[in-house]
Amino acid sequence: MIEPHLKVSRPTAVPTSLGQSGRPSREDAEAAVRTLLAYAGDDPTREGLLDTPDRVVRSYEEFFGGYSEDPGAILERTFSEIDGYDEIVALRDINFVSHCEHHMAPIIGRAHIGYLPNHRVVGISKLARIIEVYARRLQIQEKMTAQIANTIDEVLQPRGVAVVIEAAHQCMTTRGVNKPGVDMVTSRMLGAFRDNQATRQEFMSVIGKPA
């Protein structure tokens, strides 16, 4: 029961024209950009900004295209003719751009992935695509690191998975504390990479990060 002297604030609903996907229409999205331009103090009707709403919406379709992709499906096609290969498969320095879910500012970084095959491998481009799918969503780095590792582990069922991500967060380097040149490092180790120190050290050496 709410006490009579307490006031409860409720968010104001924003009218939108929802399509079959449940997403606002393109017209609503462009109108929202015009509102933000006006909030910033500029005139959305001046010549230089007339096409900005369309450009921003098209950029969002690219920035956040990961919502329309199934990361698990990307890894479904595997290869078993590997002549018993059971050592580390690693990709390092995979560049990505994501966006912080708190400020919608860019997260610019690189990811390193490793796994120990269990009778089957996947095309290396598919590993890079997994990073892109999760990067092209609103993110925090810790969650993104776990999502990449967990998806590889669940679909490929290898003997181990290792993911390390290093990234600069523009919400920290261009606003707030304004500390450029700072990278955040996160890691997720599963299976043999978590249980076996030598295996973990080998992966870190492969990606140029000796433990």
Q: What is the mean pLDDT of residues 72-99?
A: 93
- Catalytically active residues are 100-103, 141, 169, 171
Within 80-152, strands assigned E span: 89-100, 106-116, 121-122, 138-139
CA distance 85 to 81: 9
150 touches 79 (CB < 8 A): no
State residue 211's pLDDT score: 65
DSSP per-residue letters across 140-174: -HHHHHHHHHHHHHHHH--SEEEEEEEEEEHHHHS
Which residue, among 210, 199, 208, 204, has the nearest Cα to 159 in the 3D structure? Answer: 199
**Which position has the higher pLDDT, 146 or 179?**
146
Using the predicted structure, report yes or no on whether residue 210 has a pLDDT greater than 90: no
Which residue, among 73, 117, 77, 111, has the nearest Cα to 187 in the 3D structure? Answer: 111
Using the predicted structure, report yes or no on whether residue 10 has a pLDDT greater than 70: no
Per-residue model confidence as pLDDT tens digits over 102-152:
999 999 999 999 999 998 999 999 999 999 999 999 999 999 999 999 999
Q: What is the mean pLDDT of residues 183-210?
A: 95
